[in-house]
Chain A
Amino acid sequence: MHELSIAISIVDTVIDQAKKASANRVSEVELDIGTLSGIEYESLEFALGVAAKDTILEETLFRINRVEPVAECPKCQHLYTPDGMFSLCPECNEQGIRLIQGTELQIKSLLVEQNE
């Protein structure tokens, strides 16, 4: 359910940025969303449609990059791909995952159209 709050936050931020850039159209927005960020991709896509309705982003394409998780073992510093939030280090079996990637919730870039 929080995907709608997230979507509203994305739309607000993009509109602010577009205004700053004096853009009159935003054709594309690129988002980095980690697979362990707590976001359901389908819900977010749906919520973005709802949040963008009747704004300058109504026609905007939202490109969502799924960022796969990478963990670093806190003990032996081995880098590995965890299969969730409770993976053990495959090298030394240490418990306690330290994610260095996979929880992203970021607006990467906007593709805007400006009049000269």
Chain B
Amino acid sequence: MCDTCGCGSGTNPVKISRPGETERHIDNDHPHSHGHPHDHDHPHSHGHHHDHSHDNSQQRLIRVEEDILGKNNLLASRNSGYFEAKGVVALNLMSSPGSGKTTLLEKTIRALEGLRPVGVIEGDQQTLNDAERIHAAGAPVVQVNTGNGCHLDAEMIRQALDQLQVQEESLLFIENVGNLICPSLFELGEKNRIVIISVTEGEDKPLKYPTMFEHAHTCIINKTDLLPYVDFDMDLVKKHALSVNPHLHIMELSAKTGEGMEQWIEWLLDQKP
């Protein structure tokens, strides 16, 4: 069983697709390696001679000291090199479901029109809904459906890049799966990790999910147009976020009304590869 593509369970495979295109499952060209029984990790090897006695086996300690996320980090570095060579700035957007990531992206794409090329990789467990919204907003987009997976990983990004053909000097937005826990551990090769929270979520989000805020470079507080209607203490949430990560750059905005969008767009245009 494999949570990344569900290949052991026969359901929910990882799919990478573009709007208007039939979804396809990467079948033979698997996006990741795994120790499943159907590859050839048999408990015995086939080629050896059976002329030895099994009694003379001996135990040996092998020092490994290998980072568990080493493989992902290596692939992330490869993605990062690809971005550098193309002058692309990759931004990893992470949040809980419903914080307004996709709306923010739609507005951002429209605001950047004519100023800087944009590409988008959309991550969701299922559906092409977000990719269709981004496509309608006018940006090239590839959807990654993770199936059972709760986060994007570096290999999924590499596969998506094969299809996206991202333009040189562009901003590449990677919208991660809505989840404040798992995506924080998986580097994708991005230049900047952006965590988005909304004023409807409660000020203690940074304290409840510190790993995400600790790993992020930038924090966007969205839906500021709702501030008059909710009990949300802006100073307190900032204080909490900065107590986890004092270097966090925080921006407040409302993607819906456009309030605060100028500083965000300006910040995006300042991003150098």
Interface residue ranges, A against B (CB under 8 Å): 1-2, 4-6, 8-15, 17, 21, 23-25, 27, 31, 36, 38, 50-58, 84-86, 95-96, 105-116
Residue of A with least CB distance to B241: A86
User: What would 10 more interface pairs be, CB under 8 Å, given A106-B66, A111-B60?
Assistant: A5-B4, A9-B72, A11-B35, A12-B35, A13-B66, A85-B210, A86-B210, A96-B247, A109-B62, A115-B52
| Residues from chain B with Cβ under 8 Å of A15 in the complex | 35, 41
Chain B interfacial residues counted at CB < 8 A = 54
Hey, which chain A residues are within 8 Å of B246, CB to CB?
A: 95-96
Q: Is the CB of A95 within 8 A of B243?
A: yes
Query: Which residues B154-199 have CB closer than 8 A to chain A?
Result: 179, 181-182, 184-186
Q: Which chain B residues border A5 with CB–CB below 8 Å?
A: 3-4, 149, 151, 153, 182, 186
With A4-B3, A13-B71, A105-B69 known as contacts, the answer to whether A115 contacts B57 (CB < 8 A) is: yes
Instruction: Kindly identify which residue among A2, A50, A84 contacts B151, using a CB–CB cutoff of 8 Å.
Output: A2
Is B54 a contact of A115 with CB atoms below 8 Å? yes
- Residues A56 and B211 in contact in the complex (CB < 8 Å), given A13-B71, A107-B65: no
Shortest distance between the CB of A80 and any CB in chain B (Å) = 16
Residues in A with CB closer than 8 Å to B35 are 8, 11-12, 15, 51-52, 55, 57
CB distance from A2 to the nearest CB of B (A): 4
Report the minimal beta-carbon distance from B177 to chain A, rounded to whole angstroms. 10
Give complex CA distance A97, B71 in Å.
27
Using known A-B contacts A21-B60, A56-B41, A95-B243, determine if residue A10 contacts B68 with beta carbons closer than 8 Å: yes
Q: A95-B246, A106-B66 are in contact. Are A113 and B58 (CB under 8 A)?
A: yes
Docked complex Cα distance between A95 and B245 (Å): 9
How far does the alpha carbon of A12 sit from the alpha carbon of B34 in the complex, in Å? Answer: 6
A95→B41 CA distance, assembly (Å): 49
A112 contacts which of B59, B70, B214, B243 (Cβ < 8 Å)?
B59
- The answer to whether A13 and B37 touch (CB under 8 A), given A1-B3, A4-B3, A110-B61, is no
- A contact patch SS: mixed
**Contact between A8 and B34, CB atoms less than 8 A apart:** yes
Q: Bound state CA distance, A36 and B184, in angstroms?
A: 13
Could you tell me if B185 and A2 are in contact, using CB atoms closer than 8 angstroms?
yes
Q: Are A109 and B63 in contact, with the CB atoms below 8 A?
A: yes
Known contacts: A9-B72, A85-B214, A85-B244. The answer to whether A38 contacts B184 by CB under 8 A is yes
* Known pairs A27-B59, A38-B211, A84-B210; A17 contacts B1 (CB<8 A): no
- Whether B22 is near chain A, meaning CB under 8 Å from some CB there, is no
Cα A97 to Cα B54 in complex, Å, equals 53
Q: What's the nearest-Cβ distance from chain B to residue A108, in Å? A: 6
Q: Hey, which chain B residues are within 8 Å of A116, CB to CB?
A: 52, 56-58
The answer to the question of B111 belonging to the interface, with a C-beta cut-off of 8 Å to chain A, is no
B44: chain A residues within 8 A (beta carbon): 24
Please pick, from A8, A17, A85, the residue contacting B62 in the complex, using a CB distance under 8 A: A17
Minimum CB distance partner of A20 in chain B: B62
Q: Is the CB of A1 within 8 A of B69?
A: no
